[in-house]
Amino acid sequence: MTEFERAVYEAVKSIPEGKVATYGQIAKLAGYPGAARAVGNALHRNPDETNVPCHRVVNASGGLAGSFGFGGPYEQKRRLMAEGVYVMDLTVDLSDYLFEEGSL
């Protein structure tokens, strides 16, 4: 595992149940601002989905991952809804569910 991946996974662990963060937020928190796409790649290789809740990471518009690595976007939707995050048309309303970056 790379230092970048470790930093990303630690950042993702800080997102509480019932909230989401964007790939860009995670990149910034991990110390790699501008590396949103690389965050997505790292999450696709997440070795510990139980402890690294990558389903809580969405794109900048609130969209779910088209290729969510643990069962596709409908599995990501199922996991988010089980935590109380409402998902409509594979999109989360960031005005309701975005975990504020300053709180991360």
Give the active site residues: 54
What Å distances lie between residue 39 and 80, 84, 88, 95, CA to CA?
A: 19, 24, 24, 22
Q: Which two tokens stand for residue 104?
A: 């991360």
89: left (phi over 0), alpha (psi -120 to 50) or beta: left
For residue 13, the surrounding DSSP H or E stretch is helix 3-13
